[in-house]
């Protein structure tokens, strides 16, 4: 982060604080560590900086093109209001936002600097899943903090292990509210009629993926359930997007009950986590306190000694020798980097002004992590005894011999920031063609050739294995959709060890070979 050309240089003065270094950056913001030369107090400063729209004039001032004035005005106003919402929160387990400053053509959120490790880091360092006694002092205060937040009629919308800091003494602090992601998705929605959703893989609920999904406090309950699952099982649960796709194709829910992967847990705890991770929001606990009661965590946050997990004990012993931790690296979300790229690609246009509510009583805006999810209707599993529907007179004989078109990528889910899917960028297009030979389709895409069958109604669904693919997406590729005499329309999904890439495929008959 230190060589980010868009970032403020060390020593730059913001609101009386001097920048020390960059802690994290994303599509709409850069976060710094800073200190006061007078008081010596250290803070974290989040600067509103929409990449692809903003540029530096001099050392600190930010300027924008006149054509972007509306989008900047709306987004900056939303950033300010979300900061002020957080300023009025007072809770020992929620990061303390202390000030907001308008200057240099932008805005700055000033908050306490939390020194410690993320829960995700500690879980990885621990190496083995935690039991309830080890996890209670780390997460029971988080549950209480979320209850406080919900009573303020606010939701966090981004609870995950990398947004929970654990201080050296074992006390947790919630950081990184989802306000920046809300700004990102609203920017997309205001400038593009297509559907988007802000989400974090494994931890966001299904309603946060759906384009018309409405969020309330039960979204945080789902995310908290996923955090508990990750800690108890040693791995996160099935992602909401995977579960949605399985159900949409009439297949069983891919969620594995916690008792199956963590058999040492009591049935009551496993059942509580399973309920929090219910696909439908109405099946979850109604309040975060209900989840806490089902876990049988008494919430004694005034204890003077905490039984720390092994990894945290080591970190506590070494705390005085550690250098300062860049704790906000996941602050914006890796996928937010795609916003700037999407803008430069022409996907973002000028928005119209609208309301700006993160409060529970109003429906949450439709969301995205620079990612679009196909809005698939969930259908029940097919009944083998049910009468088959007539597919009509259509046969493959009526199809064109060749179709040409493209795959348009609309969504990327990355497993890590270090190994990004650099060639899968929302808005990127790749040539796609199909040749029809009787009941066989030959798919040509990205240097690969696959052969699959086509059903009498024109539908097809092909998934390659790892040994069958080469090149850019070298693991599994799936093509599904329908071919008619007039067109081919469908979905494309590519998955490898770095993540998943989603696209829409369309093609028209090639006139010369009809």
Contact present, 216 and 223 (Cβ < 8 Å): no
- Based on its alpha-carbon atoms, the radius of gyration of the chain, rounded to whole angstroms, reads 25
Is residue 56 within a helix (H) or strand (E), and if so which, with residue range?
strand 54-57
Residue 103: helix, strand or coil by DSSP?
A: strand
For residue range 143-183, list pLDDT tens digits in order.
Answer: 999 999 999 888 888 899 988 999 988 999 998 775 545 55
CA distance 64 to 72: 8
Task: Indicate the SS3 state at residue 213.
Answer: coil
Q: HSE on the CB side for 167, CA within 13 Å?
A: 15
Average pLDDT per consecutive 10 residues, the chain (514 residues; last block may be shorter): 77 94 81 92 91 83 83 85 89 94 94 92 90 94 95 88 90 77 50 45 84 78 97 94 87 95 96 97 95 85 54 54 40 39 41 37 35 39 45 59 85 68 70 84 76 86 58 64 92 83 88 48
DSSP 377-394: PP-PPPPTTSPPPP--S-
Q: In what order do the strands lie in the sheet with 29-35?
A: 13-14, 17-25, 29-35, 42-48, 106-112, 97-103
Angle, CA 284 vertex, CA 282 and CA 290 arms, to 5°: 125
Domains of the chain: residue spans and CATH = 13-114 (3.30.200.20), 117-321 (1.10.510.10), 396-513 (2.40.128)
Q: Residue 109 and residue 183: Cα distance in Å, rounded?
A: 15
Tokens of 172: 């947790």
Contacts of 284 (CB under 8 A, 6+ apart): 218, 221, 222, 225, 275, 276, 277, 278
What's the CA gap between 312 and 384, in Å, rounded?
Answer: 54
Torsion angle of alpha carbons 264, 265, 268, 269, nearest 10°? -170
CA angle 155, 43, 19 (to 5 degrees): 125
Beta pairing partners, 34: 19, 43
Q: What pLDDT score does 194 carry?
A: 35
Distance CA 406, CA 408 (A): 6
First to last CA, the chain: 54
The neighbouring-strand residues paired with 45 are: 32, 110
DSSP codes, 267-319: HHHHHHHHHHT-SSGGGS-SSHHHHHHHHT----TT-S-----HHHHHHHHHG
Beta partners for residue 430, in sequence order: 407
Alpha-carbon distance of 72 to 51, in angstroms, equals: 11
Per DSSP, which regions of 113-222 are E strands? 117-118, 164-166, 172-174
Neighbour count for residue 377 (Cβ, 10 Å): 6
User: How far apart, in Å, are the Cα atoms of 412 and each of 32, 185, 339, 426, 466?
Assistant: 27, 15, 12, 7, 19
- 8 Å CB contact between 62 and 106: yes
Query: 217 CB contacts (<8 Å, ≥6 apart)?
Result: 146, 150, 155, 287, 288, 360
Q: Taking the model in full, what pTM does it have?
A: 0.59
- Nearest CA to 507 out of 445, 452, 451, 450 is that of 445
Q: What is the pLDDT of residue 338?
A: 43
């Amino acid at each position: 982060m230190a060589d980010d050309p868009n970032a403020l240089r060390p020593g730059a003065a913001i609101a009386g604080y001097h920048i020390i270094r960059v802690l994290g950056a994303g599509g709409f913001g850069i976060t710094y560590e800073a200190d006061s030369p007078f008081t010596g107090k250290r803070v974290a400063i989040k600067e509103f900086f929409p990449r692809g729209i903003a540029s530096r004039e001099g050392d600190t001032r930010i300027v924008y093109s006149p054509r972007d004035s509306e989008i900047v005005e709306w987004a900056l106003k939303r950033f300010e209001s979300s900061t002020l919402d957080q300023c009025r929160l007072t809770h020992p387990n929620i990061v303390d936002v202390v000030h907001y400053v308008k200057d240099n053509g932008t805005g700055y959120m000033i908050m306490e600097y939390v020194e410690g490790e993320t829960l995700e880091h500690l879980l990885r360092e621990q190496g083995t899943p935690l039991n309830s006694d080890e996890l209670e002092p780390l997460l029971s205060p988080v549950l209480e903090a979320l209850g406080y937040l919900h009573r303020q009629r606010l939701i966090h919308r981004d609870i995950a292990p990398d947004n929970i800091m654990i201080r050296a003494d074992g006390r947790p602090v919630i950081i990184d509210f989802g306000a920046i992601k809300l700004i990102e998705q609203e920017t997309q929605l205001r400038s593009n009629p297509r559907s988007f959703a802000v989400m974090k893989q494994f931890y966001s609920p299904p309603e946060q993926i759906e384009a018309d999904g409405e969020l309330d406090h039960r979204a945080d309950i789902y995310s908290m359930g996923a955090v508990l699952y990750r800690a108890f099982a040693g791995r996160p649960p099935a992602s909401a997007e995977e579960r949605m796709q399985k159900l949409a194709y009439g297949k069983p829910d891919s969620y594995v009950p916690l008792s199956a992967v963590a058999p040492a847990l009591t049935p009551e705890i496993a059942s509580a986590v399973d309920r929090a991770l219910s696909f439908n929001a109405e099946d979850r606990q109604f309040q975060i306190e209900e989840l806490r009661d089902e876990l049988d965590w008494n919430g004694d946050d005034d204890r003077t000694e905490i039984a720390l997990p092994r990894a945290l004990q080591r970190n506590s012993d070494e705390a005085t020798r550690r250098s300062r931790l860049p704790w906000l690296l996941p602050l914006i979300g890796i996928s937010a980097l795609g916003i700037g790229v999407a803008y430069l690609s022409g996907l973002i246009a000028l928005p119209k002004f609208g309301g700006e509510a993160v409060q529970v009583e109003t429906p949450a805006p439709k969301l995205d992590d620079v990612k679009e999810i196909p809005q698939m209707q969930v259908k029940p599993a097919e009944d083998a005894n049910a009468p088959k529907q007539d597919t009509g007179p259509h046969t493959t004989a009526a199809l064109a011999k060749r179709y040409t078109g493209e795959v348009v990528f609309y969504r990327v889910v990355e497993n890590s920031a270090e190994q990004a899917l650099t060639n899968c960028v929302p808005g990127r297009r790749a040539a796609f063609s199909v040749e029809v030979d009787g009941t066989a389709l030959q798919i040509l895409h990205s240097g690969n050739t696959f052969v699959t069958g086509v059903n009498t109604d024109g539908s097809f669904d092909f998934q390659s294995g790892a040994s069958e693919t080469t090149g850019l997406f070298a693991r599994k590729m799936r093509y599904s959709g329908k071919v008619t005499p007039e067109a081919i329309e469908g979905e494309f999904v590519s998955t490898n060890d770095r993540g998943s890439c989603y696209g829409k495929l369309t093609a028209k008959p090639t006139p010369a070979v009809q």
